[in-house]
């Protein structure tokens, strides 16, 4: 199953972030996947700005012509508070990996403007891909943390990242060139 045909650079360098409890509570669980002896949650988040800050961002959006289609200065604040759109850079989704006892191991943010391109369970791990435009960043999460990826060459050469039979297949620009990765204890291992 091909998850994402890439026309841009891809790298296994997605780093986990810290979030507050308030940010997590504002988001609702959309999807849950098994993760070894734990779970990983995909959460969707709504508007997070107070009214005054949102008003300023609306005026700024009108001035720079960056508001979504159908949104103008008069209805901007109302549409924002209803959750019909988010401003660029706000948290759109959270990916939270948890142990069996419920404690969070890893958190990844998907800001408005980027997309969650890959959220795929395999073996005792989950492949997570976030990106947009010309770059995509991947991580493999387990209940031990993020697995370190070996050097895969120039990110511009990677064209496809997919999960096939419990392995991650990274395909290069020349379709005959591919590398299979499997989860190890603390890093991804290359299998030929």
In a domain, 144, yes or no: yes
In a domain, 116, yes or no: yes
pLDDT of amino acid 129: 92
pLDDT of amino acid 79: 94
How many domains is the chain built from? 1
pLDDT of amino acid 132: 82
pLDDT of amino acid 187: 87
Asked if 129 contacts 116 with a C-beta cutoff of 8 angstroms, the reply is: yes
pLDDT of amino acid 7: 41
In a domain, 161, yes or no: yes
In a domain, 68, yes or no: no
CA torsion, points 75, 79, 84, 90, in degrees to nearest 10? Answer: 100
In a domain, 177, yes or no: yes
Q: Report the first-to-last Cα separation within the chain, whole angstroms.
A: 19
Integer Cα distance of 32 and 62 in angstroms: 38
What is the Cα 82 distance to its own chain's centre? Answer: 24
pLDDT of amino acid 5: 40
Task: Give how far Cα 16 sits from Cα of 58, 121, 140, Å.
Answer: 30, 18, 11
Q: Per residue of the chain (192 residues), what is the pLDDT tens digit?
A: 334 343 456 788 899 999 999 999 999 999 999 998 899 999 999 999 999 999 999 999 999 999 999 999 999 999 999 999 999 999 999 999 999 999 999 999 999 999 999 999 988 899 999 988 778 899 999 988 899 888 877 788 887 888 888 888 888 876 667 888 888 878 888 886
Global pTM? Answer: 0.84
pLDDT of amino acid 50: 93
What is the Cα 18 distance to its own chain's centre? Answer: 14
Q: Domain containing 124: what range?
A: 2-46+86-191
Q: Tell me the DSSP string of 3-64.
A: EEE-SSEEES--------HHHHHTEEEEEEEEETTEEEEEEEE-----HHHHHHHHHHHHHH
pLDDT of amino acid 34: 92
Asked if 191 contacts 183 with a C-beta cutoff of 8 angstroms, the reply is: no
pLDDT of amino acid 57: 95
In a domain, 54, yes or no: no
Task: Give how far Cα 58 sits from Cα of 29, 103, 110, Å.
Answer: 28, 37, 22
In a domain, 136, yes or no: yes
């Amino acid at each position: 199953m091909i998850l994402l045909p890439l026309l841009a650079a891809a790298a296994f360098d997605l780093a986990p972030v810290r979030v507050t409890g308030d940010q997590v509570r504002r988001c609702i669980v959309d999807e849950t996947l098994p993760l070894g002896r734990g779970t990983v949650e995909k959460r969707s988040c709504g508007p997070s700005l107070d009214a005054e800050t949102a008003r300023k961002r609306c005026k700024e959006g009108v001035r720079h012509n960056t508001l979504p289609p159908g949104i103008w200065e008069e209805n901007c604040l109302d549409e924002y508070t209803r959750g019909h759109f988010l401003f660029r850079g706000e948290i759109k989704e959270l990916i939270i990996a948890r142990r069996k006892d419920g404690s969070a191991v890893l958190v990844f943010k998907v800001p408005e403007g980027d997309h969650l391109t890959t959220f795929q369970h395999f073996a005792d791990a989950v492949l997570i891909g976030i990106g947009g435009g010309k770059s995509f960043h991947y991580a493999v999460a387990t209940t031990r943390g993020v697995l370190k990826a070996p050097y895969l060459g120039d990110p511009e050469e990677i064209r496809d990242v997919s999960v096939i039979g419990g392995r991650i297949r990274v395909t290069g620009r020349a379709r005959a060139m591919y590398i299979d990765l499997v989860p190890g204890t603390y890093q991804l291992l290359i299998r030929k």
